[in-house]
Amino acid sequence: MNQYRYSIALILLFIFSSCSDEQQPHIPNRQGVVAEHAMVVSAHPLATQVGFEILKNGGNAIDAAVAVHFALAVVFPAAGNIGGGGFMVYRTKDGKYYTLDYREKAPNLAGRDMYLDENGEVSNQKSTLGHLASGVPGSVDGMATVHEKFGQKPWKEILHPAIDLAKNGFLLTEKEASALNNSQEPFITYNTVLPENIIRDSWQPGDTIFYKDLASTLERIAEKGREGFYGGETARLIVEEMNRGQGLISYDDLQNYHSVWREPISFNYKKYTMTSMGPPSSGGIALAQLFMMINNFPLHQWGINNPNTIHAMAESEKMVFADRASYLGDEDFVDVPVGNLMDIQYNDQRAATIDFSKARTADEIFAGTFVPEHEETTHFSIVDQYGNAVSSTTTLNGGFGNHVVVGGAGFFLNNEMDDFSAKPGSPNMFGLVGGEANAIAPNKRMLSSMTPTIVEKDGQLFMVVGTPGGSTIITSVFQTILNVVEFDLHMQGSVDFPRFHHQWRPDKIIYETDRFDPLLYENLKKLGHQFVERSSIGRTDAILILEDGHLEGAADPRGDDSAIGF
């Protein structure tokens, strides 16, 4: 079961106490859960267990993924969802890739300036809290779409564990109890019908929580598939909720929502081939750029904890996020110069501008130029006993999304509209800036950083990886893969490893509190880097295929995450 309850503090004690350029410190390098045939790693032990049982009973990775998705909507409602959206990367046992975009869309009545006040300033709260913040949910259509194409087990059977958990209740973990306690005020402020089942003075770990309305909604979805959400009673309840709270989502928006199979983003790094998500996620392209830039430097020789390594990574990250802000958006609405951005020569030239004697400020860095071609979240990783693999990241955006529970339907709505650029240059809740390519338009999908990724080594399945974390998703996936392929850490060692992140603006390296070696910090400061702490970055859940074919499941100790295999 979950073997990752170690306190991060324990790990910290051993990290980096004597790091220097010459002498690499001892790097803690735990191995995760090892199993022979199949593995599920998700953000909650109950959801992981649901996926495990589906596989044990002969289901495939897609059956397990759909069951885990719906189970997370119950046991981890801050991010697991039916009122949000996400992306899934699927690799069949024969090595074919399918990438599904079930990202939310702007409602048809959304407009470019909908979050600007009378002075033309962004009023952030409107894009993050309450009814106006919600895009049209994509999750249920996404799950129905992948299941219809690849599922083996009956849809109703897959929905059953989630219904059971919602109806019969389950015990809260410490993290879940405190997440609910911390959000009581916005729950009360932003709901038009008080969600009695989650309102309480104080939740304690071990309390039982029930989601009866959600159970009924899930039963309608089990009975009618996508129509159980986008039509009938559930659609009626969503539209009534929107009417009560002056939201924009209409019945037509729901009926017109469809997830889309997108072209996978694939690229090579040394002997590895990585496949990830294309627009409207920026994840795949940004990851490709980061690996192409970093390929110019001898990271392995420098070592994992070396100022040159961190400097090269941070400087590359700045340039990639500058490109992201200028060029990336929903390809159904804007031309994204995918070929230019993923051109090896372009990224080599960008990498050549890195100055190893100093950090460049954000003002010194611009998006690259070329002649354009014409033409709070949760992640889970699954490998089944047949060799199929799923990497899926899904979200409501912020924890509990816009904090609105659809009256009578029992589920939270997303606040994904905040991922649009409400005004050029004005930062969103992740501090990300953007422009025209990611401006709001009716029915457009907001740009994402979600980076569900599958890595092959010499043509064989090698790693399944992804994480939540907003803008830090891209760099956490980058770092987690590098820790294994360049610095030889176990999958678990890599997931445990302290994370850092740069996103160009704000012009700071974000790092995990107390988890950066003081000497390294001083060396990087001398180069001109500025720093800001964050208590933790991401919750990465990953699987590594070991040389003997066994699977190593690595669940992130930063959350309730767990890995189970057989």
User: Any idea which residues carry the catalytic annotation?
Assistant: 377
Contact 102, 149 (CB under 8 A): no
What's the CA dihedral at 49, 50, 56, 57 to 10 degrees? 150
Minimum CB distance to ligand DON, residue 416 (Å):
6
Minimum CB distance to ligand DON, residue 484 (Å):
22
Contact 166, 214 (CB under 8 A): yes
In this complex, which beta carbon is closest to ligand DON, that of residue 137 or of residue 225? 137
In this complex, which beta carbon is closest to ligand DON, that of residue 80 or of residue 307? 80
In this complex, which beta carbon is closest to ligand DON, that of residue 68 or of residue 299? 68
In this complex, which beta carbon is closest to ligand DON, that of residue 161 or of residue 399? 399
Minimum CB distance to ligand DON, residue 418 (Å):
8
How does DSSP assign 481-497, residue by residue?
Answer: HHHHHTT---HHHHHHS
Instruction: Tell me the torsion sign for CA atoms 242, 244, 246, 252.
Output: positive
Residue with tokens 């962004």: 122
Minimum CB distance to ligand DON, residue 283 (Å):
8
Residue with tokens 């599922």: 151
Residue nearest to ligand DON (CB): 377
From the list 287, 289, 291, 285, the residue with the least C-alpha distance to 269 is 291
Q: Tell me which residues touch ligand DON (CB under 6 A).
A: 376-377, 395, 397, 416, 419, 448-450, 468-470, 473
In this complex, which beta carbon is closest to ligand DON, that of residue 490 or of residue 539? 539
Contacts of 103 (CB under 8 A, 6+ apart): 85, 86, 87, 138, 280, 281, 416, 445, 446, 448
Contact 198, 214 (CB under 8 A): no
In this complex, which beta carbon is closest to ligand DON, that of residue 101 or of residue 552? 101
Contact 413, 401 (CB under 8 A): yes
Residue 455, Ramachandran bin (φ over 0: left; ψ between -120 and 50: alpha; else beta): beta
Contact 40, 564 (CB under 8 A): yes
Minimum CB distance to ligand DON, residue 551 (Å):
25
Minimum CB distance to ligand DON, residue 51 (Å):
20
